[in-house]
């Protein structure tokens, strides 16, 4: 039985597919966004925290975290450790 035959036999199936497919696509896109480590708000994968939490970090911390060098992963771990420990965002500091 071809897809066209199924469609002819059951137009409702195609209607359901037309409704469900965009939903599935939307879901898979939403799941590509990882949640913010602090507030669980979805954020783009390339960002460490959501925009609101990022702005709450001290400027020197943001500046250090923006630097891409050999210690970048170490600084990210420092950030994660403090966020997980419940350190207030405004008090988080990382290795310069
Ligand atoms: Zn956040």
Q: Are residues 58 and 83 located together in one domain of the fold?
A: yes
Q: Are residues 27 and 41 located together in one domain of the fold?
A: no
Centre of ligand 1 to C-alpha 83, Å, is: 10
Give buried/exposed letters for 60-92 (b at 16+ CB in 10 A, else e). Answer: ebbebbeeeeeeeeebeebbeebbeeeeebeeb
Q: Are residues 86 and 45 located together in one domain of the fold?
A: yes
pTM: predicted TM-score of the whole model, two decimal places: 0.66
Q: Are residues 20 and 6 located together in one domain of the fold?
A: yes
Centre of ligand 1 to C-alpha 37, Å, is: 7
The number of folded domains in the chain is 2
Centre of ligand 1 to C-alpha 62, Å, is: 14
Q: Are residues 96 and 55 located together in one domain of the fold?
A: yes
Q: Are residues 45 and 28 located together in one domain of the fold?
A: no
What tens digit of pLDDT does each residue of 14-68 get?
665 676 666 666 665 555 678 999 999 999 888 999 999 999 999 999 999 999 9
Domain range enclosing 69: 34-96
Q: Are residues 27 and 39 located together in one domain of the fold?
A: no
Centre of ligand 1 to C-alpha 71, Å, is: 23
């Amino acid at each position: 039985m071809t897809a066209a035959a199924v469609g002819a036999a059951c137009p409702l199936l195609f209607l359901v597919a037309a409704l469900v497919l965009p939903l599935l696509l939307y879901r898979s896109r939403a799941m590509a966004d990882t949640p913010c480590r602090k507030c669980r708000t979805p954020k783009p994968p390339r960002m460490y925290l959501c925009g609101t939490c990022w702005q709450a970090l001290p400027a020197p911390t943001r500046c250090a975290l923006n630097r891409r060098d050999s210690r970048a992963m170490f600084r990210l771990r420092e950030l994660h450790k403090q966020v997980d420990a419940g350190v207030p965002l405004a008090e988080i500091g990382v290795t310069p």
